[in-house]
Structure 1
Amino acid sequence: MQNFRTAAPPPVAPLATGGLADSVFDTAGRDPGLPLIARRMEGATGGWRQVSAIEVRDEVVGLAKGFVASGIHPGHRVAIMARTRYEWTVLSLALWSVGAEVVPVYPTSSRDQVEWILRDADCVGVVVEDEQGAMTVGSVCAGLPRLGHVWQLDDGSLEQLTERGTAVPETTVDSLRRIVLPDSTAVIAYTSGTTGRPRGCALSHRSLASPCDTLLAGWSHTTAPPGVQPAILAFLPFSHVYGLMIQNMCLRGGMLMAHEPELRGEALAADLLSFRPTFLYGVPSVFEKLYKNFLRLAQEAGRGALFERAVRTAQDFATAVERQHLGRGHGPGLDLRLQHAIYEKTVYRKLRASLGGRVRGAVSGGSPLNRELALFYSGIGLLVHDGYGLTETSGGVTAQPVGREKFGTVGRPLPGTDVRVADDGEILVRGPSVFQGYVNDGPGTRTALRDGWLATGDIGRLDSEGYLSITGRKKEIVVTSGGKSVAPAPLEELLRVHPLIHQAVVVGDNRPCVGALITLDPEFVQHWRRALFDQRGGSGPGAREENALRQEVQRAIAAANATVSRSESIRVFRILPEPFEVANGLLTPSMKLRRDAIARRYEVEIDAMYQSSRTARRRLPEESPSWDDADDVFRRVR
């Protein structure tokens, strides 16, 4: 069994007193005018209004008094079913101020999911965003006798709540806030539910504060230049523990936080230019999409070849720097430094400018970031630190050491956190951020927590220097009919990097070989088609264009196959007519693949893919993945 605990920087003292809401009250007392939140100005395009610490505190107190007047007591659970927005932050702080527990619910959750979470958590109240959310909750209220309150954000409920609490003395809130203990439960965060019903993880104020305080102590200097207040654009869902960790880190670290409820590319691009963050927190799909947009825009401007050369130079430069920092090389040579300097003037600084011009670094979490993509970002001057965490650990478990980043890994354990890899490859974690247990699930808690160690369900490995690599989930391992075990995540990650491929799911349980279900990026496919027609001439998609797209996808699969043994390689694949989405039940609200649901939905297509592979293989070279000729790719992505 491998195990590792990092030695530097030193561990941060755990939260000794109080709860998460105290940070805003402390900041307001120490520096009342410090801007804590930037709110989008109504009726102003791209305008933001800064909200000071004292203003945030006063609004939190007003809402907290309203909750008291509504009968919300310490230990009560109140769900927040809304997108990432200003109200989410002040509501959570107000609930924590009176000792209540927050239950995050994705606003896109189905009726059954909402009913399950509200019942399982025994919620006494729920905050919804709009009429649609109110209708969803209303449809399940009859079976939830304990649910006494439904507040709707867009109909003035917060103003009414504050008005209701005007008669409650402010000292009442102070008294309630001061009896909150670090080990009091702050959040009941539900898991993604990829393999069954979501399970509620009880997270204490201490466990939620721990990774935030550790990252602030060792990494906060990377988020902004000296003397500049860090500015963070929060766009990940606060209903997920990663998004919630970003919120708490901003509040505890005195960072300026703005909210963006839409994850659409247009909304995010506009906010990057207007808010101009100094640091980004995202997931791999965000960084993949940014890269594809860079490539598409360069190709549309007739500079595709220049961009591709700049990408290779950035990756070579970052690789040389990485080797130097790890003590394995002398750094970039003179020729490479000169090439890099040229592309810095002509390409790289323009890419950074499209992100607002102030971004100096980023963190990727949720799943591992592709190494080549991480090298690209580092090479253009935007160092993306890859990290690892899960709901049961309140977020962060590992991070890249500053100045000793090893791309392709998720870094080393945070100070004070122990990580082991069991003999079967499962990652085990022990530390202050580990959860209190699953709500209403004693057997599940005892299975997950073994002698103080959390069995994460993730598969990985630790190298000799303590860097952790994630290779997949135990429950997701594909076992072919020949007995070969294949981790799907690394192959899927490599496929997604190709600009034409949007999503990929590796299949092959009890099949003769590994296969893949692929969805295409409609925007990039349209761009690719236009470029192909301009190059070859023609008025619409035809056999030649269809074959060209097949070859592109086959090349992407061949590149992924080059990283694994032949028995692990993708031998058959199929293009699907629609993407995997939350709306069609194929993604969880946290954007994770529902593999079982995908396999059921496309059972016929999977069977046909394997049945047609024998015929296809007789027509294709031995090492080429096969394709069902019935696929009309252009029709599917139009």
Structure 2
Amino acid sequence: MERAVALERKRLSGGTPTLKERIFDAVGNVLVYAPLRDQLGLGRAERAFTGGEALGEDTFLFFRALGIKLKQFYGQTETCALTAAQTEGQVKLHTVGRPMEGSEIRIDESGEILVRSSSVVDGYYDDPESSAKALVDGWLHTGDAGRIDEDGQLVVLGRVSEVVRTAAGERYIPNFIENRLKFSPYIRNVAVLGSGREKLAAIVCIDFDAVGHWAEERGVSYTSYAELSQKPEVQVLVGEVVRHVNGTQPEGLRVRRFVNLHKDFDADDGEITRTRKLRRNTIETTYASLIAALYGGLDETMFEAVITYENGERGVIRRTLRISEVVA
């Protein structure tokens, strides 16, 4: 499967399989992929699509590597399901395809995706006020933010209400970038910073189990989460993940610096909710000195954190945290 996924990634990036790869793929199809497709109940599937929340890159590549030509689409109830969809030969990991025949898509000044099509509903039942807000001059205001890439494919970023801007006026949604970073098994939580700032930076919480296993396989010793997070090898590992995600982002929306936090974000500390959503205001306040170091050009910083023990007593721990540059 590792070979199959690597080959599918090569195909999607425009590469041509070698003769050896084609032979291996044919043998793999007989011995592995076809039986797996059958086990999944997809042995005769000719067309497969995924929509809704973004699908992880590894999951998407896994199904395609099995020979299931999975593609992505975008739509809403108000558009009778489909508005844009990928076609075979035009599949990208981070887009949802071009507008379907008879559909028009444009991005307004706020970054919102607008749709005009005969498939768009006339309005909401018995709700003229909502209808007037959603349908303006024949265009449906989807409430989603997006952009059109260089190939004319739609990239859906998230909800318009989540859009923020950099100091240069670049629109982005932190959660869009964070989710793609968390598609990596090595990153459990991450906060992308950049609202009102010149460049993007990130506070990263590694996945202790996944990174710990990775370290053990490579003979990297450690005694705690905090020590593991600051290992040079782990800095390089996380840097590779960030660099990969940066490759899917416009130049002005790439994470330039990051720091591996000495612990995971914790609901008890008010950093995330019980459903693991970031409390951005809390993070900006709690890690103000760390954020200042990220944007101050420092290579490392001493961070003091107040902790609360099980008996209710409070203490302070001090950690030296490395700050890494992401080289394109």
The alignment's TM-score, normalised by the length of structure 2, stands at 0.68
Q: 1:526: which partner in 2?
A: 209
Taking CA–CA contacts closer than 8 Å with sequence separation of 6 or more, which of the two structures ends up with the larger relative contact order? 1
Residue by residue over 1:275-312, the C-alpha shift from the partner in whole angstroms, topping out at 9 and shown as x without a partner, is: xxxxxxxxxxxxxxxxxxxxxxxxxxxxxxxx544421
Partners in 1 of 2:200 and 2:126 — Cα distance?
38
Residue by residue over 1:507-533, the C-alpha shift from the partner in whole angstroms, topping out at 9 and shown as x without a partner, is: 321234323354555xxx424413523
- Secondary structure of 2:279's match? helix
- 1:481 pairs with 2:187: no
8 A contact 2:120–2:140 mirrored in 1: no
Higher strand share: 2
Partners in 2 of 1:471 and 1:448 — Cα distance?
19
Partners in 2 of 1:393 and 1:502 — Cα distance?
35
Partners in 2 of 1:338 and 1:611 — Cα distance?
54
How far did residue 367 of structure 1 move? Answer: 3.9
Partners in 2 of 1:545 and 1:454 — Cα distance?
46
The structure 2 residue matched to 1:619, chosen from 299, 302, 322, is 299
Q: 1:381: which partner in 2?
A: 67
- 1:561 pairs with 2:216: no
Residue by residue over 1:109-155, the C-alpha shift from the partner in whole angstroms, topping out at 9 and shown as x without a partner, is: xxxxxxxxxxxxxxxxxxxxxxxxxxxxxxxxxxxxxxxxxxxxxxx
Partners in 1 of 2:66 and 2:34 — Cα distance?
8
How far did residue 505 of structure 1 move? Answer: 4.5
Residue by residue over 1:191-229, the C-alpha shift from the partner in whole angstroms, topping out at 9 and shown as x without a partner, is: xxxxxxxxxxxxxxxxxxxxxxxxxxxxxxxxxxxxxxx
8 A contact 1:507–1:515 mirrored in 2: yes
Pick closer, same or farther for the CA change 1:495–1:420 going to 2, 3 Å: same
Q: 2:196: which partner in 1?
A: 510
The structure 1 residue matched to 2:184, chosen from 488, 498, 512, is 498
8 A contact 1:359–1:382 mirrored in 2: no
Q: 1:419: which partner in 2?
A: 104
Partners in 2 of 1:511 and 1:535 — Cα distance?
38
The 5 A counterparts of 1:214-225 are none
Partners in 1 of 2:122 and 2:203 — Cα distance?
35
What letter matches 1:584 in structure 2?
R
8 A contact 2:50–2:70 mirrored in 1: yes
Partners in 2 of 1:608 and 1:537 — Cα distance?
30
- 1:436 pairs with 2:126: no
The structure 1 residue matched to 2:146, chosen from 459, 462, 465, is 459
8 A contact 2:203–2:259 mirrored in 1: yes
How far did residue 603 of structure 1 move? Answer: 3.1
The 5 A counterparts of 1:147-296 are none
Pick closer, same or farther for the CA change 1:519–1:388 going to 2, 3 Å: farther
How far did residue 421 of structure 1 move? Answer: 0.8
8 A contact 1:472–1:488 mirrored in 2: no
How far did residue 607 of structure 1 move? Answer: 2.2
Partners in 2 of 1:469 and 1:586 — Cα distance?
25
Partners in 1 of 2:191 and 2:229 — Cα distance?
25
Q: 1:316: which partner in 2?
A: 10
Partners in 1 of 2:282 and 2:161 — Cα distance?
19
Partners in 2 of 1:544 and 1:584 — Cα distance?
25
Partners in 2 of 1:441 and 1:505 — Cα distance?
39
Pick closer, same or farther for the CA change 1:573–1:528 going to 2, 3 Å: closer
Pick closer, same or farther for the CA change 1:630–1:481 going to 2, 3 Å: farther
8 A contact 1:393–1:435 mirrored in 2: no
The structure 2 residue matched to 1:584, chosen from 256, 261, 274, is 274
8 A contact 1:398–1:414 mirrored in 2: yes
Higher helix share: 1
- Secondary structure of 2:83's match? strand
The alignment's TM-score, normalised by the length of structure 1, stands at 0.39
How far did residue 449 of structure 1 move? Answer: 0.8
Partners in 2 of 1:367 and 1:435 — Cα distance?
26
Residue by residue over 1:573-599, the C-alpha shift from the partner in whole angstroms, topping out at 9 and shown as x without a partner, is: 564424899963665xxxxxxxxx722
8 A contact 2:97–2:154 mirrored in 1: yes
- Secondary structure of 1:536's match? coil
What letter matches 1:468 in structure 2?
L
Partners in 1 of 2:57 and 2:218 — Cα distance?
32
What letter matches 2:227 in structure 1?
A
Pick closer, same or farther for the CA change 1:627–1:550 going to 2, 3 Å: farther
- Secondary structure of 2:121's match? coil
Partners in 2 of 1:627 and 1:478 — Cα distance?
29
The 5 A counterparts of 1:88-99 are none
Partners in 2 of 1:461 and 1:584 — Cα distance?
35
8 A contact 1:480–1:510 mirrored in 2: yes
The structure 2 residue matched to 1:398, chosen from 84, 107, 111, is 84
Partners in 2 of 1:572 and 1:438 — Cα distance?
48
Pick closer, same or farther for the CA change 1:531–1:394 going to 2, 3 Å: same
Runs (5+) with no aligned partner, structure 2: 304-317, 322-328
8 A contact 2:105–2:115 mirrored in 1: yes
Partners in 1 of 2:13 and 2:214 — Cα distance?
32
Q: 1:543: which partner in 2?
A: 227
Q: 1:603: which partner in 2?
A: 284
> Could you tell which deviates more after superposition, 561-570 or 308-317?
561-570
8 A contact 1:574–1:609 mirrored in 2: no
The 5 A counterparts of 1:9-158 are none
How far did residue 500 of structure 1 move? Answer: 1.3
Q: Which has the larger radius of gyration?
A: 1
8 A contact 2:157–2:172 mirrored in 1: no
Residue by residue over 1:303-356, the C-alpha shift from the partner in whole angstroms, topping out at 9 and shown as x without a partner, is: xxxx54442123224555xx9xxxxxxx64533312322444565457647746
Runs (5+) with no aligned partner, structure 1: 1-306, 324-330, 588-596, 621-625, 633-638
Q: 1:141: which partner in 2?
A: none
Partners in 2 of 1:566 and 1:335 — Cα distance?
36
Q: 2:310: which partner in 1?
A: none
8 A contact 2:193–2:202 mirrored in 1: yes
Q: 2:131: which partner in 1?
A: 445
8 A contact 2:189–2:265 mirrored in 1: no
Identity %: 25
Partners in 1 of 2:272 and 2:299 — Cα distance?
38
